[in-house]
Amino acid sequence: MITVKSFEFNYFSVNTYVLHDETGEAVLIDCGCFREEEERGLNNYIIANKLTLKHLLCTHLHLDHVFGNEFANRAYGLKPQAHKADADALPSVREQARLFGLQDRIQSIPVEKYIVGNETIKFGNSELTALLVPGHSPGSLAFYNKKNGFAVTGDVIFNGSIGRTDLWGGNQEVLIAAIKDKILSLPDETILYPGHGPETNVISESMNNPFL
Ligand SMILES: [Zn+2]
Ligand SMILES: [Zn+2]
């Protein structure tokens, strides 16, 4: 059984997720902590639950989703894993931060391992399947757990909305097609944990999302 904990971090109100199962092994997805109290909040949760972090996964490499990678590296020795298409197409985090007018305390931690579509990521007794869902960024990934019926979707789809497509390598037609192909094809009751805002599920987005 996987426990999903979400935190809302940084100027962009990004959702950072910690997933763990009964073994205490865990994955950190989109580590967005920026201020010291955010780092402390994340660390307190990890200590209180005696978690061993196995992977630092990035749904994509927009700055709001990677602000905390330097902290995750410093505190837990983790290095980010992401799709190569994002690493190739997007400016460095430091450069993205400059473009958004944020220059302080941004350190880029290079991606250590590239994740490909349909790859299985294991921790404890559990596994996630990486789904490539391009369009918001060229290498956007969703992390799907079939057994527990959920997916962490990054900025691909939100409760009642979809990701913006005006940033590096974005494409709205590609995004909508990929959402229909990879996300709406999951079982109806699958819970979707997005990169911003509240959770949703496949059936309610299939029926109510005005962009799809
Ligand atoms: Zn994004
Ligand atoms: Zn975002």
Each residue's pLDDT tens digit, 129-175: 999 999 999 999 999 999 999 999 999 999 999 999 999 999 999 99
36 alpha carbon to ligand 2 midpoint, in Å?
Answer: 20
- The pLDDT of residue 181: 98
CATH of the domain at 139: 3.60.15.10
- Number of domains, the chain: 1
Query: Domain range holding 166?
Result: 3-208
Q: Residue 200 has which token pair?
A: 């949703």
Nearest ligand, CA of residue 65? 2
Cβ < 5 A residues, ion ligand 2: 64, 155, 195
Please, which residues have CB within 8 angstroms of residue 103's CB and are 6 or more apart in sequence? Answer: 97
Residues 169 and 163: beta-carbon distance below 8 Å: no
What percentage of the chain has pLDDT greater than the value 70? 99
Q: What is the mean pLDDT of residues 102-114?
A: 84
Please indicate, yes or no, whether the overall pTM of this predicted structure exceeds 0.75: yes
Report which residue type is found at 66.
V
154 alpha carbon to ligand 2 midpoint, in Å?
Answer: 7
- The pLDDT of residue 105: 67
30 alpha carbon to ligand 2 midpoint, in Å?
Answer: 9
